[in-house]
Amino acid sequence: MTFLFPNYQRKPIELVSGKGCMVTDQSGKQYLDLTSGIGVSSLGHQHPLLTKALKQQVDKIWHTSNLYTNSLQEAVAEKLANHKDYVAFFCNSGTEANEAALKLAKKATGRNKILSFHQSFHGRTYGAMSLTGQSSIQQGFGEMLGEVAYFPFNDIEEIADNLNQEVAAVIVELIQGESGIHVAYKGWIKELYKLCKKQGILFIVDEVQTGIGRTGSLFAYEQYDIEPDIITSAKALANGLPLGAMLGKQSLAQTFSPGSHGSTFGGNPLALSVACQVLDLVQTPEIQENIQQRSLQFFNGLQQISSKKIIDIRGKGLMIGIELTDSLVLTQVMNQLEKHGVLTLRAGKNVLRLLPPLTISQAEVAKALEIIEEVLAG
Ligand SMILES: Cc1ncc(COP(=O)(O)O)c(C=O)c1O
């Protein structure tokens, strides 16, 4: 008997505590966490500075509503802008950040069409689900937003003919996370961005999974020589407290005039007090260096594994995908890894996805590689 909807396929383990990159289940078994709670606890579990920030805020005030000035929102927005001319709207999740982006793009341009990509993932609410280029996500839920069209990822030909003045925005993940760690080519993104600019089409980058240091820079777009009109963020932003953000260019600010959009909980002080620390920490030279070094260690180590089960290895920073022969093999590999005390994620049908905390140590990566090799060789 359960009192829950069965919409998640849950494992029978319950994680009851965590410290750094290690988590412990109800039986006391320890695991190396290569999931970060699907790219959320990116600075590890119980980071002392984050715990301190949260505790301090707990003793001050939990909720103020958005009827009042909020200096924590100002501080986090400034850090997210990262010396560029972005303003922020705060919400509670990735899907809400994408809903906000959709509304902003339509209102700012007065246009209706949105272009997205096959195999993309943008969330589960109606707008974000409509942006998602996967029929399996949409199946059974009736009509999607009719104005969204999907195009092949990493291919300029087909979309180029459709970039006209009826289009409000293009939305893209720079690494498609949920569907299998597909990295966008730099040349493709630069060309797409240029063509959008020509037609007054807003360029939205969904950084819900790629952002907050995951790929080596605060946001992945910084590695693509572009400045998106709109950026969406969530997941790791408050390391486990619910927080989402939509950033838009200053020139779009007046589109969201008073009363045009809002959220009761969005940008609450508890999540923001943590986000403030998260954004300082991910930009420190120590964490930046760790992401670079551990990424190299992972990719070098994985490339040296000789296994017939591996088809491809791809990703950036600490967003890593290992494509395996098929989905059954992936299930077996994940179960074996779990048995050996390593938690991993699935992406698409057959990709083993690793999103370890950005604070993972050299010894922990070495241990992870040793176990992954043993399992893949077997
Ligand atoms: C790229 C991307 N966008 C949006 C979302 C949705 O975020 P949330 O689950 O916080 O609504 C996800 C979640 O996996 C994601 O990976």
CATH classification of the domain holding 32: 3.90.1150.10
Residues 219 and 332 in one domain: no
Residue 378's pLDDT is 73
Torsion of CA 194, 198, 202, 207, to 10 degrees: 0
Question: Are 193 and 317 found together in one domain?
Answer: no
Could you tell me if 213 and 295 lie in one domain? Answer: no
CA of 59 to the centre of ligand 1 (A): 31
Domain end position, chosen among 282, 302, 330: 282
Position 128 scores a pLDDT of 98
Assigned domain for 8 exists? no
Take residue 212 and report the two structure tokens written for it. Answer: 């907050």
**Residues 308 and 266 occupy one common structural domain:** no
Tell me: do 30 and 131 sit in the same domain: no
* Longest CA pairwise span in the chain (Å): 60
Write the residue with the smallest CA distance to atom 16 of ligand 1: 209
Q: What's the rounded Cα separation, in Å, for the pair 87 and 107?
A: 16
Residue 234 Cα: closest atom of ligand 1: 10
Q: Which residue has the tokens 């003919």?
A: 161
CA atoms within 13 A of residue 348's CA, in its CB half-sphere = 22
Number of H helices, E strands in the chain: 12, 17
User: What CATH number should be reported for the domain holding residue 176?
Assistant: 3.40.640.10
Domain that holds residue 158: 49-282
Which of 233, 262, 282 delimits the end of a domain? 282
Taking 50 as the pLDDT cut, the residues of the chain under it are: none
Question: 175-176 and 182-183: which strand pairing?
Answer: antiparallel
Q: Same structural domain for residues 295 and 274?
A: no
**147 in the same domain as 63:** yes
Residue 5 domain flag? no
Residue nearest to atom 4 of ligand 1 (CA): 122
Which atom in ligand 1 lies closest to the alpha carbon of residue 176?
Answer: 1
Residue 3 lies in a domain: no
Q: What are phi and psi of 10, to 5 degrees?
A: -90, 145
pLDDT at 284: 98
- Residue 359: what pLDDT? 98
Q: How far is the CA of 184 from the centre of ligand 1 (A)?
A: 17
186 and 87 in a common domain: yes
User: Is position 353 within any domain?
Assistant: yes
Q: Specify if 246 maps to a domain.
A: yes
Asked whether residue 80 falls in the same domain as residue 218, the answer is yes
Tokens 């078994």 found at: 29
* Whole-number CA gyration radius for the chain: 21
Instruction: Find tokens 């927080």 and name the residue.
Output: 243
Question: Could you tell me if residue 55 is inside a domain?
Answer: yes
Considering the domain architecture, whether residues 33 and 66 belong to the same structural domain is answered as: no
Instruction: Indicate whether 7 belongs to any domain.
Output: no
Pocket test for ligand 1, best of 95, 102, 153, 263 (most atoms within 8 A of CB): 95
Q: What pLDDT shows up at residue 345?
A: 98
Note the pLDDT of residue 34: 98
- Confirm or deny that 217 is annotated as ligand binding: no
**pLDDT given for residue 372 in this prediction:** 98
Strands 167-172 and 202-206: parallel
pLDDT of residue 326: 97
Residues 227, 315, single domain; the answer is no
**CA of residue 378 to ligand 1 center, whole Å:** 34
**Ligand 1 centroid to residue 233 C-alpha, Å:** 9
Between the CA of 240 and the centroid of ligand 1 the distance, in Å, is 14
Show which of 218, 249, 282 is a domain's final residue: 282
When divided into structural domains, the chain yields a total of 2
pLDDT score, position 146? 86
- Average pLDDT of the chain? 98
State the Cα–Cα distance between residues 292 and 33, nearest whole angstrom.
19
Ligand 1 pocket by Cβ (under 6 Å): 93-95, 98, 121-123, 173, 177-178, 206, 208-209, 234
Has residue 352 been placed in a domain? yes
Annotated binding-site residue? 95: yes
194 beta partners: none
Same domain, 267 and 291: no
